[in-house]
Structure 1
Amino acid sequence: MNSFRQRSLLSLLLTALTCGAVAAEIPPNVLPALKEHCLGCHGPDAAEANLRIDLLTSDLADRENALKWIEIRNAINLGEMPPDGESPLPIEILSQTSEWVSQSLKQIDRSRSRSDEQTMLRRLNRHEYTHTISDLLSMKFPSGESPLNTLPPDGTAEGFDKVSSALMLDPSLMTHYYHVARHIAERAIVDGPPEYPTETMRLEFEDIPDSHAIGYLVTRLGLNPVPGGLEMIEGGTRSFGMLRYPGRKDNNVAPTNGFYRFTIRAGASPGKDGEVPRIRLRHDHPDDSMQTIMEFDVTAAWDNPKEQTVVIPRDTLGGEVKVEILNETKLYMGQRPGEDFMRRIGEVGSQQNFQESLRLAGRKIAEGWGGDRSTPDPEKLNLTEFPRVFLDYLEVEGPLYDQWPPKSHSTLFSVVEPAANDLDDAKKIFTQFLPRAWRRPVEPSELAAILNVVQTELDNGESFHEAIRVGLTASLTSPNFLYLIEQTTSDDDPSDDVTSDDDTEHLDDHAIANRLSYFLWSSMPDDDLFRAAQAGELAAPSNRREQVDRMLADPKIERLVESFAGQWLQTNTFLDFTPDPHLYRDYDDALAEAVAREPLEFFREILLHDRSVLNFLNSDFIVINERLAEHYELDGITGDHYRVVPLPQTSVRGGLLAMAGVHQAGSDGIRTKPVSRAVYVRDVLFNNPPDPPPPNAGEVEPNIRGENLTVRERLVQHQQIEACASCHRSLDPYGLALENFNVIGAWREAQDGENFRGRNRPPIDASGRLPNGNKFADFREFRQQLLLQSDRFRRALAEKLLIYAFGRPVDPADDALLSQAVNDMKAQGDTLRALIQSIVSSEAFITP
């Protein structure tokens, strides 16, 4: 019964709710009945969940008091309270309580007043800032140059980085904003041609034998010069400094940070079992020894190679490029060559005596010395049995420019002649730019302030371009850019489609456009939203619903997936602990990437294809790639792309809690942590996180040497601590139900990890009883029990989305909005679209 408690602690930081009327008195039978049934757990002696029935009052204008009453109403309506074993509340008490709470909240909402001059402010978080700059100036940021690389991480509240109370702006942060804005201005406005024009660099693999790399090649059976290119069966080959930007002495293809096009032309011959070879192109980099550029199956024929191309940001720190074949081919055994022999080859190679180098290399192979690792395996000398790749050439083109001057420059200066150089020209530029940058009409005095900055630069002898850069920097460090300032309209009746009291204030259309765009796109309004705001169309709920449909179809909706879904589902925590490589040998980098990505791909499928949100509780499909299919023991899935995969009836997968990343987050890399998993379930699915444990609660200890207690057995011991028992009763079942999933989310029937090895591993017991008294025998039954609490999940999801959309905690006055949103969602197939439409079309969405 504490679903609002943690949120209320933060919401106390906001202005208290005011009202001009006192709510009706509590129905006379309600409090006595609650005291009779609940005082034992929620009275002066216990006060579980920080709730005391004896301290409740009828004043729902008191935020804390109102939140407690909402907790009580929701808990008794969902059958969670009184708990199992206690006598139920009479039906008339249930209905009287629910009706009184709901009606009183509506009365208070109608009576609250706001100042005519009140405005709400929220700073853009760094992701919103970056997206806004990208959309405003049509800019793409190469490696290391995005505002995300410079601005510090934002604070969070209520689980999101969009809540105003966590987005403070102090002098040190302003310094960051200035430097970022100045860098943006320097990139957006250019003088003359680019310092580094686009060049094409090509490495013909057939040229490698003529280079100093020949000694490297002839010592490896897996690399073989062939007519027109290079054959590769095992290992990899480097660019050997043969691929560099013209005029540069280093081995890097990137003379400046930017975007580069990598193209490799390759064909292949499958192995005797039809295995298609796979290659990876990597770039040497100090931040990550070899950064992957591309990876793909070579399906083109040996005698008809095809190009594979990718455009990717690169920086000036990179080095050589390497091509590797990823098949499991192993041509060598485990013996190392003698040190003297290897030293002799090294000395000859350093003298560039290629004839002697070839002679030694031939002797090396003849005597069974293979490379610097091992000797050739005599059983694998028939190379025709292995998949082979033919490498023709590798080409790098860059730095790439969409156009020159860049679009940011041409857009800013599109309203003036090429020879523009005075303040009148600057006025034309900023008259066009400022309303878009500040996302609203601009007053003449605001324009004059920016022009004064430009004039000062011109008076000091700076060029016209430099003066505009300074004006652009000032525009982007203004509070008008950094903050979402929600202006209100003086129109008492914004639309015939809006039903409200005559004296209710509303946001003006530009503020509504901003709420829509930063909710769904994490960025500024586009041209269509600006036009609708200018025409005064956004006050009408029907028009806002139409905009939602349009915006959901736009590629920028991916930002909602990354931002809302990522934070709601807490995917940033999935890789906090790396599984022990000795205990979980199946775990690799590809799986790590996939388990963090799976929930986001699942959310995207639910959102864009109007599937029911109840699939998060249980589903008959999953959204995975080949690596996850292998991990989940599902056949027939190939390729790195994510796709919908129907589940066989026997599968344990389906729904959020069967995803491997959830279980890796609920572990410490060695053992599972049911309490952490339980906190995740209650927080994510029910927006009901438990209170932090008391300081003396202690941890559930790992097994010490010689012990073999299961996690369940250790939790039982932990519950003997009096300070922990009451919380663990309502928490542990949610985590123990997931014990069949090990640290990396693989299904297990017996305990693994820690000290559990061999045949005598204890079987997993995933049974339990939920706080409402419903029992479950295993994970499958647990999921069914969660589905029985679908209304609780719907309400929690609505609360999460409201926090994200409004940038503030849930308020008691939001109760009616949330109830309506849940009803609308249920009536329209439980889709996220319906939930978003309901929130956006509500009067609260256009109310400051």
Structure 2
Amino acid sequence: MFRRSRVASPACNGALLVAIAMLGAAVGLEATAPGAQQPAQPHATAAHAAVAAPETPDADAFLDRYCVACHNERLRTASLVLEGRDVERIGDDAETWEKVARKLRSGAMPPPERRRPDPAALDTFVGWLEGELDRDAAAHPQPGRVADHRLNRFEYGNAVRDLLDLEIDAAALLPADESDHGFDNIADVLSMSPTLLGRYLFAARRISQLAVGDPSIGPAVETFDLSRGLRQDGRMHEDLPYGTRGGALLRHYFPLDGDYVVKIRLGRNFTNSRIRAIDTREEIDVLLDGAIVSRLTIGGECADSDDAHCAQSGIYRTSPYHLTADDALEVRFSAAAGMHDLGVAFVRKSVLTEGPAPTLLPPRHTSSTYEAPRMDVDTIRLEGPFDPTGPGDTASRRRIFVCRPDGAADEEPCARHILGALARRAYRRPASDADVDTLLAFYRSGRQEGGFERGIQEALARLLVSPQFLFRIERDPASVPADGVYAVGDLDLASRLSFFLWSSIPDEELLDAATAGTLRDPDVLEAQVRRMLADRRAAALTRNFGGQWLHLRNLRAVDPDASAYPEFDDNLRLAFERETELFLESQMRDDRPLAELLTARYTFLNERLARFYGVRSVYGAHFRRIPLTDPNRAGLLGHGSVLTVTSYATRTSPVVRGKYLLDNILGAPPPPPPPNVPPLEEAAGGEEPASMRELMAAHRRNAACATCHRRMDPLGFALENFDGIGRWRTMDGATPIDASGELPDGTAFDGPAEFRAALVERREEFVRTFTEKLLTYALGRPVGHQDMPAVRAILRAAEPDDYRWSSVILGVVESAPFQLRAASPAVDD
């Protein structure tokens, strides 16, 4: 875990590039090229399958018996009035009736203390209500309309990778994106400010230099700061050699063939800047792609040095050597242009025997008397290129230069061929002559300055700031009236599909199917979805969607209190994150039923995480699939990642965990808290109660808090056996843990295993929540009441397949909101 900083000044002489890009941002997006928009299709698709008419109940009698006592004109409980509603016109107020159906289906209403219908009557009424809503939606589809969608930072990096075969660190080039409704690909918040435009311009210039191999690139300095919370007493990466410890493995792009310099700075004591453990002799390997470039030696007792060099002051040596010895940790080496793994690691002196790991004060403690038992790396500095010999034979150059001119007369035709091929992939459609002519103008300018390759570099920089690359643009066909609904063209469908599953641009096979007009064919579409899910790029779905749905991204920001949780360090943080990533990937790759996300009796562990969970006989830094014998650890709710991001720095929080479960597992998020609610300790008043449960009971005595906390707190208590970093416990201080509670429908449980079983008994709620989150992510907009019929259609189609990943994903792709689009509304004169 490290931070990366760069000091470089790439030449930026593309004034015309800046002017064109700023003009595009100021006056709107470039017009779609002629022929790029496919004709509108009729909106009757498989997404609107016929809904069978359910048994018709006496709706008025049901409402009068179970609902109107609270939801009437006088009480208006929860601002909802059902008294006098016309049940013959359900579609006229679909938003209200969707809320009613959800509350009844989840068991949240009627409340447990009120008269409740028997399950058969409830199912009959809700089935009828949902059927009426679905039939109205089929007759009057409302697929919504997504704004022009700027590629977010993650999508931009993937698009550059797939366009140019060049891996970039997008986080080092672009700022983080805003999120809405839990995701950072929501079109409405992906705006383009002048400042952000400047960052994209810089990124385009830098990426074009790297991709082409600009020989004028001068030496740059990049510094990689290793986290102080990272314990360096073991092998730090699976691709570092066995028999090493500490340091880091950096995946880095070397821009040119040439020489590069690595400088290593070691960690210091907190109080006197003395290199930690400098009295111990250590060997440090510098590696390139696994091969040792140099082995450096540092430290020791200085037996061969003069007395002045080894003078002592107090308990530690404090000579200049012990303050500056790492100045000599510098290596110059030659590297070919392209992506390489640069490693720095200490040579391990011995192999520890099996047994309990020693208890060490974690590096994040700031004790003035503490000195780490081992030397560690603080920063790695990489400089270069020096004495470059050329751009080399890189993957990006092979991707770009699909032809080579034999002479001056061949240069522009070759450039046209290169730029046409790049524009087709970048713009996600066949490139028009106008598209290529625009790029050729930049090619000619660059050609005059520095030859053929410089011309291609300038044109590539222009392409990378084109609105047609940076934005996903969908144009309404002229034949569709205002507010009309139409099926998106095959090319737009291909982009929707690729950004959903890969967070990137379509590949050639998907573009070919779209260009041929066959992608909408159900068999072709299903085959493409299954092909794409089997591709390695589909890992973007579990990492990007899963990471945001489960709040894994928040794991990097949490900071458990060192005194409360001394075992927590960045090694454990990274292990938590990797465990959940690998688990999600395996679930999707193996096409498991979605309910297994909650029940799976396996996970992925390395030695550090296995030791934390109390799992024996797991050694080494690499993660591997491990069966679980403890039912309490089953599924996602036993993962340290989930349990840590739902806790406070010093303690667990049944409220935070309960809200998380309501929102992300049960799909029933509570409203925001009312203003001026006192914090938990103040709400309790007087002497602090003996247990968390008593503390929460005191908080619920505040009438403003009681309604929501009655739903949240019991769910959060189900996980109370796990402390603030996910460690199992049976006592909270001197108080036994009470992990009993009940679901919103009154189902009782005691402990995480019973809680998990109760959730699986009602797996439809979890699967529905997952589907709604996935549909939000796929569409790039929040789902609303108008999308609930599509969600139910997805679930009906997936149920016979046990709600497996592929069946739900196919359902999303085939759904009305994914395949249809509403035209722009009419504009008043």
TM-score, structure 1 length as denominator?
Answer: 0.69
Counterpart in 1 of 2:236? 295
CA contact (8 A) 1:420 1:464 kept: no
Distance 1:384 1:288 in 2: 24
CA distance in structure 2 between the aligned counterparts of 1:355 and 1:640, rounded to whole angstroms: 36
For 1:385 and 1:75, locate their aligned partners in 2 and report how far apart those are by CA, in whole Å: 59
Matches of 1:163 and 1:420, distance apart in 2: 47
- Asked whether 1:163 is paired with 2:186, we answer yes
* Per-residue deviation, residues 578-609 of structure 1 (Å, max 9, x unmatched): 22222222222221222233222221121112
Number of residue equivalences: 670
Where do 5+ consecutive residues of structure 2 fail to align?
Answer: 1-42, 45-50, 255-259, 269-275, 281-301, 320-348, 354-381, 822-829
The yes-or-no answer on 1:795 pairing with 2:768 is yes
- The 5 A counterparts of 1:526-675 are 526-648=507-629, 650-675=630-655
Answer yes or no: is 1:71 the counterpart of 2:94.
no
Amino acid at match of 1:295: M
Q: Cα distance 1:736–1:256, how it changes in 2: closer, same or farther (>3 A)? A: same
Equivalent-residue separation in structure 1 for 2:492 and 2:101 (angstroms)? 34
Task: Please tell me whether the aligned partners of residues 240 and 249 of structure 2 are also in contact (alpha carbons under 8 angstroms).
Answer: no
Rounded to whole Å, the distance in 2 between the matches of 1:114 and 1:829 is: 27
In the TM superposition, what whole-angstrom CA distance separates every residue of 1:685-744 from its partner, at most 9, and x where no partner exists?
122211100102222128999745322111111111111111111111111121111111
Q: Higher Cα Rg: structure 1 or 2?
A: 1
Query: Residues 30, 433 of structure 1: CA spacing in aligned structure 2 closer, same or farther, 3 A cutoff?
Result: same
Residues 311, 695 of structure 1: alpha-carbon distance in 2 compared, 3 angstrom cutoff = closer
Deviations 1:30-83 (A, max 9, x none): 245324422454455665555443486666666xx4233123223323444212
Alignment correspondent of 1:357? 305
The one-letter code matched in structure 1 to 2:96 is: K
> What is the rounded CA distance, in whole Å, between the counterparts of 1:806 and 1:297 in structure 2?
36
Where do residues 233-244 of structure 1 align in structure 2 (5 Å cutoff)? none
Look up the match of 1:33.
Answer: 62
C-alpha change, 1:42 and 1:466, in structure 2 (3 Å) is farther
Q: Which amino acid aligns with 1:123?
A: R
For residues 475 and 537 of structure 1, the distance between their equivalents in structure 2, rounded to whole angstroms, comes to 28
* Secondary structure, aligned partner of 1:695: coil
State the match for 1:319 in structure 2: 263
Distance 2:642 2:766 in 1: 18
Which residue does 2:744 correspond to in 1?
Answer: 771
**1:768 partner SS:** strand
For residue 752 of structure 2, what is the amino acid of its counterpart?
F
Change in Cα spacing, 1:355 to 1:831, as seen in structure 2 (3 Å) is closer
Q: Which amino acid aligns with 1:671?
A: R
Corresponding letter in the other structure for 2:486: E
Give the direction of change, closer, same or farther, for the CA distance of 1:178–1:49 in structure 2 (3 Å limit): farther
| SS at 2:697 equivalent | helix
Letter of the 2:252 counterpart? P
Equivalent position SS for 2:731: coil
Residue in 1 that maps onto 2:431:
442
Give 1:480 shift: 0.8
Report the residue type matching 1:751 in the other structure.
Answer: D
The amino acid of 1:357's aligned partner reads: S
CA distance in 2, matches of 1:653, 1:526: 39
The 3 A distance-change label for structure 1 pair 719 and 842 is: closer
Q: Which amino acid in structure 2 is aligned with residue 807 of structure 1?
A: G
| More displaced stretch, 287-296 vs 51-60 | 287-296
Identify which of 488, 499, 503 aligns with 1:522.
503
How many Å separate the matches in 2 of 1:128 and 1:300?
33
Change (3 A) 1:630 1:162: same
Q: Distance in 1 between matches of 2:352 and 2:663?
A: 51
1:223-275 deviation per Cα after TM superposition (whole angstroms, max 9, x unaligned): xxxxxxxxxxxxxxxxxxxxxxxxxxxxxxxx655xxxxxxxxxxxxxxxxxx
Letter in 2 for 1:804: Y
Deviations 1:645-695, CA, capped at 9 Å, x for gaps: 2222x5421122222222222222111111001011111112221110010
| 1:163 partner amino acid | I
Residues 1:678 and 1:575: Cα distance change in structure 2 (over 3 Å): farther
**Post-superposition CA distance 1:436-495 (Å, at most 9, x none):** 110101333333333344456668x67554444333222222221111123578999xxx
Q: Equivalent residue of 2:716, what SS?
A: helix
Instruction: Give 2:400's aligned amino acid.
Output: L
Asked if 2 retains the 8 angstrom alpha-carbon contact of 1:119 and 1:485, the reply is no
Q: How far does residue 297 in structure 1 lie from its aligned partner after superposition?
A: 10
CA deviations on 1:199-224 (whole Å, 9 max, x unpaired) are xxxxxxxxxxxxxxxxxxxxxxxxxx
Q: How far has the Cα of 1:103 moved from its partner?
A: 3.0
Deviation sequence 1:514-547 (CA, Å, 0-9, x none)? 1221111111111221222233221112212212
CA distance in 2, matches of 1:476, 1:360: 60
Identity %: 29
Aligned-residue Cα RMSD (Å) equals: 4.5
SS in 1 for 2:626: strand
Of stretches 181-190 and 448-457 in structure 1, the one that deviates more from structure 2 is 448-457
CA distance in 2, matches of 1:808, 1:182: 31
What secondary structure does 2:236 align onto? strand
Residue identity matched to 2:680:
V
Q: In 2, distance between residues paired with 1:55 and 1:401?
A: 83
CA distance in 2, matches of 1:298, 1:508: 44
Return the match for 1:133 from 134, 153, 160.
160
CA distance in 2, matches of 1:403, 1:457: 17
Work out whether residues 606 and 831 of structure 1, in 8 Å CA contact, stay in contact via their aligned partners in 2: no
Q: 2:474 aligns with which of 474, 486, 497?
A: 486
Distance 2:397 2:659 in 1: 50
What residue number does 2:392 align with? 404
* 1:5-16 alignment runs, 5 A limit: none
Q: Distance in 1 between matches of 2:123 and 2:237?
A: 61
Mapped to 1, the partners of 2:442 and 2:239 lie a distance apart of: 57
Deviation, structure 1 residue 299: 13
Check whether the contact 1:284–1:320 (CA below 8 A) recurs between aligned residues: no
Aligned counterparts of 2:316 and 2:585: Cα–Cα separation in 1: 49
Secondary structure in structure 2 of the residue aligned to 1:486: coil
Task: Tell whether the 8 Å contact from 1:119 to 1:487 is kept in structure 2 after alignment.
Answer: no
Look up the equivalent residue of 1:470 and give its one-letter code.
E
User: What TM-score comes out, normalization by structure 2 length?
Assistant: 0.71
Distance 2:776 2:390 in 1: 38
Q: What code does the residue aligned with 1:442 have?
A: A
Check whether the contact 2:101–2:130 (CA below 8 A) recurs between aligned residues: yes
Displacement after TM superposition at 1:151 (Å): 1.8
CA contact (8 A) 1:193 1:404 kept: no
Written as runs of structure 1 = structure 2, the 5 A alignment for 1:146-225 is 146-192=169-215
Identify which of 772, 779, 801 aligns with 1:828: 801
Residues 57 and 125, structure 2, Cα contact 8 Å, conserved in 1? no
Q: 1:356–1:113: structure 2 CA closer, same or farther, 3 Å change rule?
A: closer
Q: Is the 8 A contact 2:794 2:812 kept in 1?
A: yes
